[in-house]
Structure formats: C-alpha cells, structure tokens
Amino acid sequence: MRKFVSFGLCGVLIVGFILLTQAQMSDKAQLGRELFHDPTFKGTIKPGNRSGFATGLSCANCHADFDDTANPDGLIRAGHSVVGVPHRGEAKGGMIKGADFARAAGGGGFCYEHFLQRVPGDKVNPTAIPAEHAEALMAYFEVISGDNKGPEFEIAMLDDDAKKAAGEKIAAMSGDPSNGWGLFGRACIVCHPAANKSGIGPQLVRSRAPRDIDKTMVRWATKIRGGGSLMPFYAPDILSNQDIADILAFLRQEIESTKK
Ligand code: HEC
Ligand code: HEC
C-alpha cells in the first residue's frame, strides 16, 4: 500500500514537473502566440472595410506555427511555417534585413499591414508594426523554433510578365477535377468558403458563366501563382503547376455544371 502511495506521489511530482517546464513560455512569447491567432491584434486593429482596418485574417490563416513539413495537418497555407524565422536573418528575398529584420517581426510586419489591414503592397511599411508586438512575435517564433531552421525555400518575386507567362503555361495543362476539389478545400476555403460562395475572397463560380472560359482560366492561373491585392500568391513548393491545373479543372467543372 505504502509503495503505491509513494509511486503515486512520484507520478504526481513528475507530471507537475513536466507541466512546470512546459509553462515556461515568457509573457512576451505568450503575447506573441495570442497575436499570431488574433485578427484584431488584441483589439489594436480597428474594425472596418478600408485600408488600415481589419480584414478578418490572422497570421495563423496563412502560416503554421509548428513544423508542417515534418508533421502536416493537411491544410495548405499560402505562407511557409514561421518555425525557423529567427534563424533566417532576412525576409522578402533580402528586402528586409539588418536591424529591420527583428523590428519587422522577421518579415511579418509586411503581412501585418498588407494582409491584416489591406494596406496596398506598394504603401506597406514593414517596420510600422508596434515595436512591442514585433518583439512579442519574435519571442514566440524563438520558442517554437528552438534549433529548428524550418523549411528551406526561395521566394522568387515575379514581375507582371513572369506572372502572366506562368499563368498561360498552367492554363494550357490538363487537370484532375476531383484532386482539384481536395486541394481547393485544403488551400482556398479559408477565403473562398465554396466555389459558389463569397467570403474574404469573391464568389468564383456564378450562375452566369464567363464569356470566354479559356481566357478566364489564364487570368485565374495568373492570380493564383502571382497573387492579387489581398489574395496571397502561392509559391511552386506550396502549389505546383499541376496542383493549380487540377484546381482550375475543378472550377471549370463547377462553371460547366452551373451554366444556364
Ligand atoms: C493571406 C495570407 C497571409 C497572412 C494573413 C499573413 N501572411 Fe505572412 N506571408 C504570406 C506569404 C504568401 C508570404 C511570402 C511567402 C512565404 O514567406 O512563405 C509571407 C511571408 C511572411 C514572412 C517572411 C518569410 C520570408 O522570409 O519571406 C513572415 C515572417 C511572415 N509572413 C509572418 C506573418 C505574420 C507574423 C503574420 C500576421 C501578422 C502574417 N505573416 C500574416 C502570407 C500571409
Ligand atoms: C487570404 C484570402 C485568400 C485565399 C487564401 C485565397 N484567395 Fe483567392 N482571392 C482573395 C481575394 C481577396 C480576391 C479578390 C481580390 C484580389 O485580391 O485580387 C481573390 C481572387 C481570386 C480569384 C480571381 C477572381 C476573379 O474573377 O477575378 C481567383 C481565381 C481566386 N481568388 C482563386 C483562389 C484559389 C484557387 C485559392 C486557393 C489556392 C485562393 N483563391 C485562395 C482572397 C483569397
């Protein structure tokens, strides 16, 4: 009996110890964790529908805060995991570096203005995020990263011609609509709740079909690879050309079947 009691006691102590060590996230990192999931940034972003106001998106909508290459949850996010951000030292293909890197939350300051507040890309100041919030996000990224350098990727900034060329190439490929539906569900539903419903993004499939579907497919492929005003771009390591061709085949099928 006594043995059991001391075993029990030991167990309680061990569990307590594990809980204590896990609870060691600093207040700053804990704030960063909450900001990462909060489209209002703790109420500091105002509600509304214009530039400088909340879009309803949070960082977590487009970035995993865990290693989603090693342990995928099945969702496809436009941005890469933020695991490893503190190890990168520069962001936006070298456009954000030096002291600006930490001040811009490792590049997240760009997303903070552009995707959370609809500030047009050419007007964004990546270091305009409040210093206290940038520090909190970086503290959180450090906790979740440890030594993990995160995914390796290169971001090629495409100009308009390169986006169009990529769109034309993809639209000429044939795709698998049922695979495309699965990809659409995992990647796009966060902003396009269904092909025939609008959300943060517009309704894609309407009762009246576009006049020239082939031309629309080129425009859409260009948008998915190149991004839009608020629509994020999808890099080739996140959605391959074939993936996008499959999504387009699905959307084409939906257009054909709703066409009057
Ligand atoms: C609508 C989607 C979207 C939202 C919301 C978003 N991001 Fe991003 N973010 C991207 C994309 C796309 C990139 C560029 C590609 C990449 O780095 O994965 C990017 C880039 C980044 C990078 C830099 C990666 C690099 O080296 O270029 C960081 C860090 C980052 N985001 C953090 C954040 C934080 C923090 C938030 C919340 C304030 C946020 N993002 C919100 C889509 C988004
Ligand atoms: C973070 C939100 C978001 C995500 C995620 C997103 N979109 Fe969008 N999408 C938008 C917004 C907003 C627009 C309209 C304006 C713009 O940004 O260009 C748009 C526009 C589009 C358009 C152009 C519609 C037209 O007729 O002009 C297409 C096509 C599209 N999205 C497809 C997709 C697909 C496919 C995915 C998934 C791979 C996706 N979107 C993911 C927000 C999003």
Residue nearest to atom 37 of ligand 2 (CA): 188
State the CATH number of the domain containing residue 237. Answer: 1.10.760.10
Q: What is the pLDDT of residues 199-215, one digit of tens each?
A: 999 999 998 999 999 99
Residue 179 pLDDT > 70, yes or no?
yes
**CB of 204 shorter than 6 A to ligand 2:** yes
**How confident is the model at residue 237, as a pLDDT?**
94
Q: Measured between alpha carbons, how far is 36 from 45 in angstroms, rounded to an integer?
A: 13
Last-in-domain residue among 88, 113, 145: 145
Would the CB of 105 count as within 6 Å of ligand 1? yes
Name the band, by pLDDT with cuts 50, 70 and 90, for residue 259: confident
- Give which of 78, 123, 129 is closest to 236, Cα–Cα: 78
**Res 22 pLDDT > 60:** no
Which residue's alpha carbon is nearest to atom 9 within ligand 1? 79
For residue 178, how far is its CA from the centre of ligand 1 (angstroms)?
A: 29
Distance CA 104, CA 170 (A): 34
C-alpha 71: how far from chain center: 16
Query: Which among 123, 108, 106, 5 is positioned nearest to 58, based on CA atoms?
Result: 108
Q: Is the CB of 231 under 6 A from ligand 2?
A: yes
Q: What is the mean pLDDT of residues 43-72?
A: 95
Q: Are 79 and 232 in contact (CB under 8 A)?
A: yes
Indicate whether residue 228 lines ligand 2 (CB < 6 A): yes
Residues whose CB falls within 8 Å of the CB of residue 101, separated by 6 or more in sequence, listed in order: 88, 89, 90, 91, 107
CA-based end-to-end distance of the chain: 78
In a domain, 67, yes or no: yes
Q: How many domains does the chain have?
A: 2
Pair (105, 43) in one structural domain? yes
Asked whether residue 139 falls in the same domain as residue 35, the answer is yes
Q: Are 30 and 140 found together in one domain?
A: yes
Residue 84, ligand 1, Cβ within 6 A: no
**Residue 85 and residue 145 in contact, taking contact as beta carbons nearer than 8 Å:** yes
Do 42 and 137 reside in the same domain of the chain? yes
Rounded Cα distance between 84 and 87, Å, is 5
Same domain, 132 and 205: no
Q: Are residues 60 and 136 in the same domain?
A: yes
Tell me, yes or no, whether 33 lies in a domain: yes
User: Is residue 5 a part of any domain in this protein?
Assistant: no
The larger pLDDT score, comparing residue 134 to residue 4, is at 134
Determine the pLDDT at residue 240. Answer: 97
Based on the fold, state whether residues 207 and 138 are members of the same structural domain.
Answer: no
pLDDT at 13: 56
Question: Vertex 148, ends 142 and 152: CA angle to 5°?
Answer: 110
- Cα separation, 108 vs 103, in Å, equals 10
Give the separation between CA 174 and CA 191, rounded to whole angstroms: 25
- On whether both 33 and 104 belong to a single domain, the answer is yes
> Is 13 among the domain residues?
no
State residue 6's pLDDT score.
62
Q: Is 222 within a domain?
A: yes
**Residue where one domain finishes, among candidates 145, 174, 200:** 145
Domain holding 206, by residue range, is: 160-258
- Residue ending a domain, among 99, 121, 145, is 145
Residue 206 domain flag: yes
Same domain, 139 and 206: no
C-alpha to C-alpha distances, 204 to 6, 156, 176, 188, 197, nearest whole angstrom:
64, 27, 18, 11, 7
Is there a single domain that holds both residue 173 and residue 85? no
154 domain-assigned: no
Q: How far, in Å, are 5, 43, 236, 247 from residue 141 at the CA level? A: 41, 21, 24, 32
- Ligand 2 touching residue 201 (CB < 6 A): yes
Quote the tokens at residue 48.
């509304």
